[in-house]
Amino acid sequence: MYIPAHFAETRPEALHRIMREHPLGMLVTHGSAGLDADHIPFELDASAGTQGVLIAHVARANTLWQRCPTGTSVMVVFRGEHAYISPNWYPSKHESHRQVPTWNYEVVHAHGILTVHDDERFVRRVVAQLTRRHEATEPKPWKMGDSAPEYIDTMLRNIVGLEVTLTSLVGKVKLSQNREVRDRMGAADTLDARGHTALAQAMRQAD
């Protein structure tokens, strides 16, 4: 990934925030058939290992866990907030007319080593953690105990667990840091007005 110095993000807490707020990662693998990508919700344990650990699961029918056995090097891409930026949103455009459109975004490339967990105990823990987190804002959060035990047991047998032990995190936050402050704030105000509040806030806070 091309990263100009002013767009580089190296702070672990900032990278972890993007990964947690946008947990649907793109798991990129390379096997005998070439490159492939699977879109999977991940749970991050930042305290595990030296760089953190990601856990997830896939359908047993997905051949990923057979094509990419334990020990395979993988990359998981987490894309955060993003939006088109028009040069019309820059105050300086109306003076010099030397601006062009662009796209602002946040992204993390998480590199690591894959471990396949084909066991019920692991996948039960993965499902419990994912549902506990994503059901937390529901008035009455769903939990596995709400379903018949035999039904849950059947569903768990149909999935396989994945664990990615992270070896490095590469982050890029393109938030108009290379623009004049008034241009960055002008673009942020327009994004805010159009509903991209999180990206606008990130732009306002960017150095």
pLDDT digits (tens, 9 = 90+) for 121-152: 999 999 999 999 999 999 999 999 999 999 99
d(CA 116, CA 74): 12
Quickly state the pLDDT bin for 106 (edges 50, 70, 90): very high
- 3-class SS at 143? coil
Residue 145 in tokens: 């105990």
What is the per-residue pLDDT across 51-76, written as a single tens digit (0 to 9) for each? 999 999 999 999 999 999 999 999 99
Encoded tokens for 165 = 């032990």
Identify the pLDDT of residue 97. Answer: 72
Among left, alpha and beta (phi > 0; psi -120 to 50; other), residue 171 is beta
* Tens of pLDDT, residues 15-44: 999 999 999 999 999 988 889 999 999 999
Q: What DSSP letter does each residue of 77-137 carry, written as one string?
A: EEEEEEEEE-GGG-TTHHHH-----EEEEEEEEEEEEEEEE-SHHHHHHHHHHHHHHHTTT
Phi-psi region of 157 (alpha: psi -120 to 50; beta: other; left: phi over 0): alpha
Residues 144-186: tens digit of each pLDDT: 999 999 999 999 999 999 999 999 999 999 999 999 999 999 9
Q: CA-to-CA distance for 22 and 11, rounded, in angstroms? A: 17
In single-letter form, the type of residue at position 112 comes to G
181-207 residue pLDDT tens: 999 999 999 999 999 999 999 999 997
Compute the average pLDDT of residues 75-81: 98
Domains of the chain, start order: 5-180 (2.30.110.10)
What does residue 113 show for φ and ψ, rounded to 5 degrees?
-110, 130
Q: How many angstroms separate the CA atoms of 156 and 54, rounded?
A: 19
